[in-house]
């Protein structure tokens, strides 16, 4: 039975009626499974969007915007009590199931958890019971708070980005999954599988793995990479020479000024947002090292693919302002207005999708518009090069 009195009190206490309201319906259960990179299928506990099948790992991403009020309805279809807890979410956590004062969702019951997304950033939600058993069985997912208004910035009024990625780091001990530990003395946690968004092995090198592989199209437009540590033991994230990484958000707090890093250390529960700027073309990997809890012994390294194309060493930030795109947002045509004398001869125009793929390439004469009517609505990058190969402009535009 729904605990409407609890819900009503929480609703009033956080003032949900004054803010845009985002609602989610989750089902918690112990009936899920996850296939590892070696083909082993592990039983998992977890959350799933109600009506969309058994539990999954990671749990579904819950995405809101800064300032939204949030209501998460959790139905328990399993045989054990569960909770919903937002880890590291600041002071607004007394109503969402932390271990010291849990709101239990008993089997067959529904509870509603209400709170306000006051600060942009990545957080993870999980079941806090029998900590860490329920989380380690797979009951963890990402709660993503975007900048206000859905702006593509690291935080409200923060630095802009071209594309964002969100990683949830964790690990599985197969013995725990086949024989879940009970309350009391826990057996040693000895992980066999080391995961990024539930993937490992070859899946982390797949160019088409949109939620893991990092692709940077242009040096002027950074990638925003968010990394959240939901597992145990220390983690290290090592960046290759192809990119310059700077920490811009840590545990939901903007880092002003941003600080550069080539090796990032993460403790359990931490979440960090980084801007990645390409410095050259090529393919490499961001390496994630996993260490054992207690002993800090090295356990495993995951290489996560990174692809950089269309980087131009001749393009300077000033070049972005040499050409004005009209209109922006565009519907059918783009007109290019040069702030100085238009180049003589043919100008090469290339349009790239948000994934960094070339969707249009043509040569135009001065004053000639660019037809974009057949492009789907979305965010694109326009690159303009003169007949001598000089980059005149690299900038973002929106297509209605």
Residue-wise DSSP of 266-334: E-TT-EEEEEEEE-S-EEEEEEEEEE-TTT--EEEEEEEEEEE-S--TT--GGGGGSEEEESSSBSSEE
Sequential pLDDT tens for the chain (400 residues)? 444 334 334 444 444 445 679 999 999 999 999 999 899 999 999 999 999 999 999 999 999 999 999 999 999 999 999 999 888 765 444 444 454 557 889 999 999 999 888 889 999 999 988 768 999 999 999 999 999 988 889 998 888 888 899 999 999 999 999 999 886 778 889 999 999 999 988 888 766 566 787 876 554 568 899 999 999 999 999 999 888 899 999 998 999 889 999 999 999 999 999 999 887 777 889 999 999 988 999 999 999 988 876 555 434 444 445 677 777 778 888 888 776 667 777 888 999 887 678 899 999 887 788 999 999 988 888 888 888 777 777 777 778 8
Pairwise CA distance, residues 343 & 261, whole Å? 40
Pairwise CA distance, residues 370 & 49, whole Å? 42
Phi then psi for residue 213, to 5 deg, are -65, 130
Q: Give the neighbor-by-neighbor strand order of the sheet with 140-146.
A: 59-65, 140-146, 121-126, 85-87
Instruction: Provide CB contacts within 8 A for 328, sequence distance 6+.
Output: 334, 397, 398
**Residue 97: predicted pLDDT:** 46
Domains of the chain: 4-150 (2.60.40.420), 163-308 (2.60.40.420), 317-399 (2.60.40.3080)
**Residue 339: predicted pLDDT:** 62
**Residue 142: predicted pLDDT:** 95
CB 385 within 8 A of CB 343: no
Q: Give the DSSP letter of residue 189.
A: -
**Residue 11: predicted pLDDT:** 41
> Taking the model in full, what pTM does it have?
0.75
State the alpha helices, DSSP H only, in the chain. Answer: 4-14, 133-136, 174-178
3-state SS class at 246: strand
Instruction: Provide CB contacts within 8 A for 35, sequence distance 6+.
Output: 41, 42
CB 190 within 8 A of CB 248: no
**Residue 46: predicted pLDDT:** 95
Angle at 235 between CA 232 and CA 239, to 5 degrees: 155
CB 44 within 8 A of CB 19: no
Query: Structure tokens of 217?
Result: 């199209």
Candidates 142, 136, 308, 303; CA nearest to 236 is 303
What string of DSSP letters covers 201-219? GGGGG-TT-TTTSEEE--T
Pairwise CA distance, residues 116 & 14, whole Å? 7
Pairwise CA distance, residues 253 & 249, whole Å? 5
**Residue 136: predicted pLDDT:** 92
Pairwise CA distance, residues 117 & 123, whole Å? 11
Candidates 311, 153, 281; CA nearest to 218 is 311
Pairwise CA distance, residues 277 & 162, whole Å? 10
Q: Per-residue b/e over 102-136, b at no fewer than 16 CB within 10 Å? A: bbebeeeebbbbbbbbbbbbbbbbbbbbbebbbbb
Look up tokens 């790992």; give the residue.
57
Q: How far, in whole angstroms, is CA 111 from its chain's centroid?
A: 27
Instruction: Provide CB contacts within 8 A for 135, sequence distance 6+.
Output: 126, 127, 128, 230
Pairwise CA distance, residues 241 & 25, whole Å? 43
Q: Give the neighbor-by-neighbor strand order of the sheet with 333-338.
A: 323-326, 333-338, 370-371
């Amino acid at each position: 039975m729904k605990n409407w009195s609890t819900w009503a009190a929480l609703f009033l206490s956080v003032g949900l009626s004054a803010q845009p309201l985002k609602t989610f319906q989750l089902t918690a259960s112990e009936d899920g499974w996850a296939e590892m990179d070696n083909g082993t299928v592990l039983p998992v506990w977890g959350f799933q969007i109600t009506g969309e099948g058994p539990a999954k790992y990671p749990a579904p991403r819950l995405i809101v915007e800064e300032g939204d009020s949030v209501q998460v309805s959790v139905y328990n279809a399993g045989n054990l009590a569960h909770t919903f807890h937002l880890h590291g979410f600041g002071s607004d956590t007394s109503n969402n199931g932390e271990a010291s004062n849990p709101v239990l969702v008993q089997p067959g019951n529904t509870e509603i958890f209400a709170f306000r997304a006051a600060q942009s950033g990545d957080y993870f939600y999980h079941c806090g019971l029998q900590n860490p058993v329920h989380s380690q069985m797979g009951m963890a997912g990402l709660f993503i708070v975007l900048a206000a208004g859905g702006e593509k910035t690291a935080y409200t009024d923060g630095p802009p980005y071209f594309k964002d990625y969100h990683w949830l780091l964790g690990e599985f001990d197969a013995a725990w999954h086949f024989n879940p530990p009970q309350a009391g003395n826990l057996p040693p946690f000895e992980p066999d599988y080391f995961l990024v968004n539930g993937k490992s092995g070859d899946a982390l090198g797949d160019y088409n793995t949109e939620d893991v592989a990092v692709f940077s199209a242009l040096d002027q437009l950074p990638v925003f990479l968010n990394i959240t540590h939901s597992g145990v033991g220390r983690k290290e994230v090592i960046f290759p020479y192809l990119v310059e990484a700077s920490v811009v958000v840590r545990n939901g707090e903007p880092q002003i000024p941003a600080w550069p890093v080539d090796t990032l250390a993460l403790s359990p529960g931490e979440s960090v947002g980084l801007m990645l700027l390409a410095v050259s073309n090529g393919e490499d990997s961001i390496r994630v090292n996993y260490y054992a809890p207690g002993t800090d012994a090295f356990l495993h390294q995951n290489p996560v693919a990174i692809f950089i194309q269309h980087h131009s060493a001749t393009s300077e930030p000033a070049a972005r302002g040499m050409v004005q795109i009209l209109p922006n947002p565009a519907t059918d045509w783009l007109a290019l207005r040069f702030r100085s004398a238009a180049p003589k001869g043919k100008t090469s125009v290339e349009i790239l999708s948000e994934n960094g793929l070339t969707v249009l390439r043509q040569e135009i004469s001065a004053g000639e518009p660019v037809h974009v009517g057949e492009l789907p609505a979305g965010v694109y990058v326009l690159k303009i090069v003169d007949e001598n190969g000089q980059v005149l402009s690299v900038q973002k535009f929106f297509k209605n």
